[in-house]
A and B are shown apart, each in its own frame.
Chain A
Amino acid sequence: EVQLVETGGGLVQPGRSLKLSCVASGFTFNNYWMSWTRQAPGKGLEWVASITNSGGSTYYPDSVKGRFTISRDNAQNTLYLQMNSLRSEDTATYYCTRHLYFDYWGQGVMVTVSS
C-alpha cells in the first residue's frame, strides 16, 4: 500500500524558514518523480514543486521560485521541501504527492505563517 507521511509543519513568523519532510513507503521511491502541492484554508489547490526521480532536476512556479527548494534522499525514501523567506500567503496545508498523475497524496501538514 502506497503511503506518504508528511511532517514538519507548524507556526512560523514571516521571513523565517521551515523544512517539511515526507516519508514514502509501498512503492519503489527512486523510480518516481515527486511533488509538493498546497491548499490555503478554504481555497483551491496550487502546485508548489516537483523533482525528478534522481533529484537532478527541479521545477517551481514563480510564486515560490527562489524561496522554496525541493530535494530528496532516495536511500531514506524521503522527500523534502525547504521553505525560506516565508510569507503570510504561504499559509496552507502542504501535500506530498507522487508525481505520476499526482496519483497518491499524503494526509497533509499545516503551515501557518503569522507574527
Chain B
Amino acid sequence: DIQMTQSPSFLSASVGDRVTINCKASQNINRYLNWYQQKLGEAPKLLIYNANSLQTGIPSRFSGSGSGTDFTLTISSLQPEDVATYFCLQHNSWPFTFGSGTKLEIK
C-alpha cells in the first residue's frame, strides 16, 4: 500500500499569512493527488484534484503543486474561514490512501 506522510500535523498562522501543507507519497503517484478541507462536524470538501486543478467554486487563494512523491497545498493569504483540517488523498493505485491530516488554526 502507498503510505501518505502529511506534515505538519498542526499549524498555527495569522490572517494574511501564506500557509503550506505537504504530503509525501511512499512511491510515485504521478499527479493523482487530491486535497480536502474538513471543518468541524462537516464532511470533507474537495479543494484540489490531480495535484494542481482547482475544484469549481473554491477560492483562488488555494493552490496545489507537485508530482511524483512530493506535493504541496498552499493558501496564499489565510482567512478566518480557512480554520479546518486538511487531508490529502492518493488515487493512483488501490487501495486509495489518505494523509493523516493537518489541523490549521488562526494564531
Contacts and interface: CB of A to CB of B under 8 A. Distances in A.
Nearest to A63: B95
B21 to A, nearest CB: 14
Interface residues of A, number: 18
B87 A44 contact: yes
Nearest to A59: B94
B49 interface: yes
A66 to B, nearest CB: 14
B96 A47 contact: yes
A44 B43 contact: no
B49 A101 contact: yes
B71 interface: no
B95 A61 contact: yes
Contacts of A50: 96
Interface stretch (A7-15, A72-80, A104-112): A104-112
B43 A103 contact: no
Chain B interface size range: 20 to 34
A46 B49 CA distance: 18
Contact of B43 (A47, A60, A62, A95): A95
Contacts of B95: 47, 59-62
B64 interface: no
A50 B95 CA distance: 10
B34 A105 contact: no
Nearest to B99: A44
A45 B95 CA distance: 13
Contacts of A59: 94-95
A47 B34 CA distance: 14
A32 interface: no
Contacts of A27: none
B98 A107 contact: no
B26 to A, nearest CB: 16
Interface of A: 44-47, 50, 59-62, 95, 101-108
